[in-house]
Structure 1
Amino acid sequence: MGFSDHLLETGTDLWDAQLRHPFVRELADGSLDEAAFRVWLEQDYLYLLDYARTFAILGAKATDEPTMAHCFEVATAVVGEEMDLHRSFAAEYGLTAADLAAARKTPTCEAYTSFLLRTARERPLAVGVAAVYPCGQGYADVAEEMAELADGRHSYTPFIRKYTSDAFVESVAWMRELVDRCAEAHPSLRGEMAAAFRRSAELEYAFWEMAYTGEEWPSERASAEVV
């Protein structure tokens, strides 16, 4: 068993919770409230900007050329292809590129992106790689579950297709292999890698919850109540 598989085994509770989350189940059958999906679009757009920055940092820390090159390729692909996908989704839900850029991170999104960037900057490459692993593997597994639950085409079908595509599955396989190589090369860091993986997995679940509940900063909610 590779270390990436070990991490997934230790995170089974969080993985199962993600698959059962109403955001995931309702997106799969097409019944998800559009307001919840708009929140996800805005927040994931902001998340991806820092996700790309995280991979750029990991690439700078890599000591072998193939890993360095691939990390930079991931960062470029996120800023290009995946951001374009979000902008096209957003247009269908009345959100412009300017709306996405002007959105403010929710507390959960802020916590998640800050954790990824801080880990990538301050900790060894192996720990940073473990921190980003739950995002890729999580979306691949969630989308696979959605594809099994989906019954016919609906407005969210492009989301499911994106994260079950061969290209995305291959990118996750590369990430899994990198986790295994890092754990093999640095066994003393496995405990810290596991802790980083667990924290990101918790934040992945919180991200679905944030979008589904329309999370706001307490100050924004208080201001709205005063008005």
Structure 2
Amino acid sequence: MGFSQEILIEIDNIWQANLNHPFVKEIGSGTLPIEKFKYYMIQDYVYLIDYAKVFAIGALKSTDLATMAHFSSLLHATLTDEMALHRKYAAQFNISEMTLASSQPAPTTLAYTNYLLSVAQTGGQSELLAVLLPCMWGYAEIGKSLTQSPGAKHALYGEWIAMYSSPEFNNLTRWLIQQFDSLTAQQTASQRIHLTNIFKNSLRYEVLFWEMSYQEEKWLLS
């Protein structure tokens, strides 16, 4: 069993909260209110701009060309395939690409992306992978779990489910997991506690992101 699986067992309650949040469940049932999805789509686009930067930092901190190439593939897939789907949704909502890209982050989005970038910039490859994994791994598991759901045939949510259940997305996620397990195989107990805390915090933010979208969170003062 790799270290990534050990972490999931330890924090299974948070993992399950992430996979089974009402926002996710209602995408699966096709009953999520469109306005909540629209809010999510805009905030997730803002999030992905900074998430992509973490892959760029991963390439920068790589010590071999193969790892650099994988991080480059992750960066490319995020900037093109994943964000292209968001731009397609924006067009359906009559939101221009300029408006989408210049949207302001909600409190949870800002806190989460700041945490991602802080860990990526100050830590090594193990820390960077620990903070990245909850997002991609969670989305891959959610995508697979919803492939046979009513939402998979929904006019709006079907493409979202198809994106995150795709072999391409799952292959990239699998590489991240394998890379993390390889790098952490010889870690000390204290290092493992440190990395578990990073993974746990990032996963907590994933749950908060669903909740933020479900509640359409706003700043108290503007």
Normalising by structure 1, what TM-score? 0.92
Aligned position for 1:9: 9
Indicate the residue corresponding to 1:208 in structure 2.
210
Shift of 1:161: 0.6
Matches within 5 A, 1:121-140: 121-140=121-140
Percent of aligned pairs with the same amino acid: 35
| CA positional deviation for 1:198 | 0.2
Q: CA RMSD in A?
A: 1.4
> How far 1:152 sits from its partner (Å)?
6.1
Which consecutive aligned stretches of 4+ in structure 1 deviate over 4 angstroms post-superposition? none
Does the aligned pair in 1 maintain the 2:59–2:69 contact within 8 Å?
A: yes
Q: Could you tell me whether the CA contact under 8 Å between 2:151 and 2:157 is conserved in 1?
A: no
Instruction: For 1:19-34, list aligned pairs within 5 A.
Output: 19-34=19-34
The residue matched to 2:146 in structure 1 has which SS? helix
Q: Deviations over 1:71-116 (max 9, x none)?
A: 1221122112211111012212232212211211011111111011
2: CA distance, partners of 1:191 / 1:91? 44
Q: Deviations over 1:131-170 (max 9, x none)?
A: 1000010001122222243366112100001100000111
| Equivalence for 1:225 | none
AA in 2 matched with 1:111: A
Letter in 1 for 2:172: S
Q: Find the aligned partners of 2:83 and 2:152 in 1 and give their Cα distance.
A: 26
What one-letter code is carried by the residue in structure 2 that aligns with 1:160? I
**Which deviates more, 64-73 or 45-54?**
64-73
Aligned to 2:175: 174
Tell whether the 8 Å contact from 1:126 to 1:186 is kept in structure 2 after alignment.
Answer: no
Work out whether residues 45 and 86 of structure 1, in 8 Å CA contact, stay in contact via their aligned partners in 2.
Answer: yes
Q: Counterparts of 1:58 and 1:173 in 2: how far apart (Å)? A: 16
2:76 is equivalent to residue 103 of structure 1: no
Distance 1:151 1:71, change over 3 A: closer
Q: Distance in 2 between matches of 1:18 and 1:117?
A: 21
Show CA shifts across 1:163-185 (max 9, x none). 00000111111010011011025
Match of 1:156 in 2: 157
Unaligned 5+ segments in structure 1 are 221-227
Contact 2:130 2:195 in 1 (8 A): yes
User: Structure 1 residues 201-210 or 178-187, which shifts more?
Assistant: 178-187
2:221 is aligned to 219
What is the SS of the residue equivalent to 2:221?
helix
The question of whether the paired residues in 2 share the 8 Å contact of 1:11 and 1:201 is answered with: no
Aligned residue pairs total: 220
Is contact 2:134-2:203 (8 Å) kept?
Answer: yes
Query: How far, CA to CA, are the matches of 2:161 and 2:152 in structure 1?
Result: 12
Partner of 2:92: 92
How big is each residue's C-alpha offset from its partner over 1:4-45, in whole Å with a ceiling of 9 and x where there is no partner? Answer: 111211221112112321111111111111111111111111
Query: 1:89 and 1:10 mapped to 2: Cα distance?
Result: 37
1:197 paired with 2:199, answer yes
* TM-score with structure 2 setting the length: 0.94
**What one-letter code is carried by the residue in structure 1 that aligns with 2:161?**
I
